[in-house]
Amino acid sequence: MMSISPTRTRATASSSALHALMAVGGLIMVLFLLAHMYGNLKVFAGQEAFDGYSAYLRTVLEPLLPYGGALWILRVILLLSVGTHIWAAFVLWHRSRAATGGRGGYRYQSNAHRRGVQRSYSSFTMRWGGLTIALFVVYHLLHLTVNVISPGGASESPYLRMVNGFSIWWVVLSYAVALVALCLHLRHGIFSALASLGAATSEVRRRRFNQLAVLISAILLLGFLVPPLCILVGWVGP
């Protein structure tokens, strides 16, 4: 075989393979979010149920696993997913900039069609949207998991932490903004992940996967937003 270029990357590090890796991480996070959303909906069952659920997460599979073991396994998987996802995102971002002289879709002088012809807003915001989500997750963990930030008052009870926080309008607003960013990310991301994994190989599948992406994003948006909103308007309280 000829050696066309000395910088041949192995196929395993190809953009195609990295996208697949990123897609796996992303889809794991989607599954987590679906479960998380389901868990959150337990606020409607009252404080006991919700706190019990939180405790259950930590005691599940005991004594097979130590206290918090299952949760930690979950956390490790999540961390790996987030880690590879973000790592791959940055490598690909870098390659994309290198391939376009650092200017991506803005490399033409013409002011017309700067955003292309048919691309969706959702695909347009993947990268900055991703960063927004990252910032949100940090904020969110500090708020509801580690409880370092505690608008409305700290509490041992996750239920009360939520109620305290979401009684304040700007907390709800900040979550809402993040959720919109997240669901835009997923509107494109879920389809893209399935395509990256080589599943969208016909027109019909492409259409189905796009519908699926919209559906899951919408479910997540609603499912996550309903509890904070209900708390804000006072339907759910301490």
Partner 1 sequence: MNITLRIWRQADAEAAGAMTTYEVHGISGDMSFLEMLDVLNEELALAGGDPVAFDHDCREGICGTCSLVINGIAHGPEALTTTCQLYMRHFKDGQVIDIEPWRATAFPVLRDLIVDRSALDRIIAAGGYISAPTGAAPEAHSVPVPKKNAERAFDAAACIGCGACVAACPNGSASLFLGAKITHLGSLPQGQPERDSRVLAMVEQHDAEGFGGCSQIGECTAVCPAGIPLDMISQLNHDVLAALPRNKGHGH
Residues of the shown chain interacting with partner 1 in the complex, contacts defined by CB under 8 A: 1-2, 4-5, 7-12, 14-20, 92, 95-96, 98-101, 104-105, 107-114, 116-119, 123, 126, 188, 191-192, 194-203, 205-206
Q: Which does 184 bind (CB under 5 to 8 A by kind): ligand HEM, partner 1, none?
A: none
**Encoded tokens for 59:** 């005691």
Which of the choices partner 1, ligand HEM, none does residue 18 contact, using the CB cut-off of 5 to 8 A by kind? partner 1
Q: Binding segment for ligand HEM among 101-109, 113-121, 200-208, 224-232 (CB under 6 A)?
A: 224-232
For the record, the structure tokens of 216 come out as 């899951």
Contacts (Cβ under 8 Å, ≥6 apart) of 186: 30, 213, 216, 217, 220
Interface characters, 182-201, with ligand HEM (x: CB under 6 A): x--xx--xx-xx--x-----
Q: Is the preceding omega at residue 63 within 30 degrees of 0, hence cis?
A: yes
**In 3D, which of 73, 68, 40, 42 has the Cα closest to residue 56?**
68
Token code pair at residue 128: 């900055």
CA angle in degrees (0–180, nearest 5) for 147-63-30 = 50
Q: Is 9 in the site for ligand HEM (CB under 6 A)?
A: no
Q: Least distance to partner 1 from the beta carbon of 182, Å?
A: 17
145 binds ligand HEM (CB under 6 A): yes
Give the whole-angstrom CA distance, residue 104 versus residue 217. 26
**226 contributes a contact to ligand HEM by CB under 6 A:** no
134 vs 197, which CB is nearer to partner 1?
Answer: 197
* Nearer to partner 1 (CB atom), residue 57 or residue 195: 195
150: Cβ contacts below 8 Å, ≥ 6 apart: 143, 161, 164, 165
Q: Does 231 bind ligand HEM (CB under 6 A)?
A: no
> How does DSSP assign 176-220, residue by residue?
HHHHHHHHHHHHHHHHHHHHHTT---SHHHHHHHHHHHHHHHHHH
Q: Of 164, 181, 227, 236, which one interacts with ligand HEM (CB under 6 A)?
A: 227
User: How many chain residues are in contact with ligand HEM, going by CB under 6 A?
Assistant: 44
State the residues that interact with ligand HEM by CB under 6 A: 19, 22-23, 26-27, 29-30, 33, 36, 40, 54, 57, 75, 82, 85-86, 89, 92, 126-127, 130-131, 133-134, 137, 140-141, 144-145, 158, 162, 175, 179, 182, 185-186, 189-190, 192-193, 196, 224, 227-228
